[in-house]
Structure 1
Amino acid sequence: MPSYSSSHKVNHNAGDMFRLVADVEQYPQFVPLCQDLHVRGRKELENGATVLVADMTVAYKLFKETFTSRVELRPDEHTILVEYLDGPFKHLENTWTFEDLGEGTSNVGFYISYEFRSRTLGSLMGVMFDRAFRKFSSAFEARADEVYGT
């Protein structure tokens, strides 16, 4: 099963980076391959977490697919957990972590594992998805610089 992980130091605090990644409605403006994102519902949990159910449409050339995920935002832990619900994948799991390092910097951790239902689709899209995931860190860091300043 393909997976990708990265850990990246950024010049923004963990809270700001958490809020930036948690603002999923803005993804079509800057996330590679994200053409559209629609939040179906949002629920506040008693533990301070928020759960979203969101449809994300990814597109590249002739390829266009929409998938649905459950996104759990845990601000007290600076963690975001994404659980796949429906779409072209057999499996998709994604985790974001944010750790303050001091002096306005933080470490952003990103992990994703996925498997397409169709081997053909997996063969066609696998390399392109890997490239996109490798660009995620820089896309979010550039967005943070735009939103919060450098």
Structure 2
Amino acid sequence: MAGVPETQEHFSAAAHGWPVRQESRSNSLTVQAAATRGAILDRPLPSKETSLPTVKRSARVPYSREQMFDLVNDVEQYPKFLHWCRGARVDLVQGNTVEATLDIGVLGFHQSFRTRNTLTRPQAIGIDLVSGPFRRLRGEWRFAATPNGGCDISLTLHFEVTLSPFGIVFAKIFEELAASQMTAFIERAKALYGAGT
């Protein structure tokens, strides 16, 4: 998007030497967070979504894609390691689809949203909005095996909020929360699985 600043930073996840890549671009009206590592969404995205500002997250970790898939899919454990998650519950399980609600609480700001997650173990978890303070929310976690027994993980989130003062504030908060997830999940994997392969 013309006129929107872009920043890019490379750093090691939690100082363990696991590369995490960050890119962010935003404006005051819409925010999109996205992460891929050589992968694209299997589901085509409308052109409006692909033109939104982006935040990218990806990492290579010494854990199997099955381990990382199970960690991300264990929604009810999120409050234990995502500092902004005040509550999480699974509302519905139907075949390979799970609907779950997350309660956000940060800086005195509280909001909830519900997503429909489509599970393709161990390759991917698709994310679609059911309800919450978004105009649109769609994304995907992807897990790709590496030759050494670890995996490349990537998170893609496309989201847009309402054009209101509340929406603009919420977009900025949600952008920061989305940006912090990759490191939090890697730290959780280390706590659960040890040093890895």
> Quick one: which of 116, 125, 131 aligns to 2:176?
131
1:105 — aligned with what? 150
Letter in 2 for 1:101: T
SS in 2 for 1:70: strand
The superposition leaves residues 51-98 of structure 1 with CA deviations (integer Å, 9 ceiling, x where unpaired) of 11111111112211111111111105x100010011111111121000
> Quick one: which of 54, 58, 67 aligns to 2:104?
58
SS in 2 for 1:3: coil
SS in 1 for 2:146: strand
Letter in 2 for 1:141: I
**2:74 matches 1:23:** yes
Matches within 5 A, 1:1-150: 1-4=30-33, 5=35, 6-44=57-95, 50-76=96-122, 78-150=123-195
CA distance in 2, matches of 1:119, 1:113: 19
CA distance in 2, matches of 1:132, 1:55: 16
Question: Are 1:2 and 1:115, in contact at CA under 8 Å, matched by a contact in 2?
Answer: yes
Q: Which has the higher contact order (CA 8 A, sep 6+)?
A: 1
The superposition leaves residues 8-57 of structure 1 with CA deviations (integer Å, 9 ceiling, x where unpaired) of 1111111110111011111111124211111111112xxxxx21111111
Of the two, which has the highest radius of gyration?
Answer: 2
TM-score normalised according to structure 1 size? 0.89
Count of residue pairs brought into register by the alignment: 144
Question: Are 2:62 and 2:150, in contact at CA under 8 Å, matched by a contact in 1?
Answer: yes
CA distance in 2, matches of 1:118, 1:37: 27
CA distance in 2, matches of 1:118, 1:40: 29
Letter in 1 for 2:62: N
- Computed over aligned residues only, the root mean square deviation of the Cα atoms, in angstroms, reads 1.4
**Which protein is richer in strand relative to its size?**
1
The superposition leaves residues 78-136 of structure 1 with CA deviations (integer Å, 9 ceiling, x where unpaired) of 10001001111111112100001122211001111111235212321233222222211
Letter in 2 for 1:98: F
- Structure 2 unaligned blocks of 5 or more: 1-29, 36-56
TM-score normalised according to structure 2 size? 0.69
- Structure 1 unaligned blocks of 5 or more: 45-49
User: Percent of pairs identical after alignment?
Assistant: 26
